[in-house]
Amino acid sequence: MSERFDFNEDYMNVPAAAVDADPAQTMRELMFRVSKLEQDLANQEATAEGETAEIMRDLVSLSDELNGIVQRWGIATNAQEAALVRAIVGLGRKLQQILAKQEVKPLAVVGQPLNPQTCDVAANEASTAVQANTVLREIEPGYTWKNGLLRKARVVISTRPGK
């Protein structure tokens, strides 16, 4: 059997605000607030992604500079130069690890037909060895990351001689 209802229990006053409340209007207001919060969150996520992309572009530029220094240095002629080159290479490796953790990868564009979505043409070079509009070399490598294209490659493309 169920418990007996006791008529001697204290009466609870209902607040006036609860009596006059419109639950449907309150739900609409809550839903509006939720949608506003979702929109603010989406805007903050987009801003954060843009700021992160800018940092990643700066890091890949730094990495490119370090690679360029090592390539231009050539063969070290004494122990001090060799130690300096090893330190630069070590710094470059650490930077590459940071970029790999963020899923930053270089674009493979050399030898491929020009793709304007991933490459900016920096120069043209006449060539009969490959088809026109083939990427001959990179001036600045391009990169992708987990959110898409990070930086376009700046490239030299082939053209037909006399054009």
The model's confidence at residue 5, banded by pLDDT at 50, 70 and 90, is low
Structural element, H or E, at residue 143? strand 143-145
Taking phi first (over 0 means left), then psi (-120 to 50 degrees means alpha), and beta for anything else, what does residue 74 get?
A: left
Residue 24: CB partners within 8 Å, gap ≥ 6? none
Residue ranges of domains in the chain: 16-102, 105-163
Q: What is the pLDDT of residues 72-114, one digit of tens each?
A: 887 778 888 888 888 989 999 999 999 999 999 999 999 999 9
CATH fold of 105-163 reads Nucleotide Exchange Factor Grpe; Chain A, domain 2 (2.30.22)
Tell me the pLDDT tens digit for each residue of 24-59. Answer: 888 999 999 999 999 999 999 999 999 999 999 999
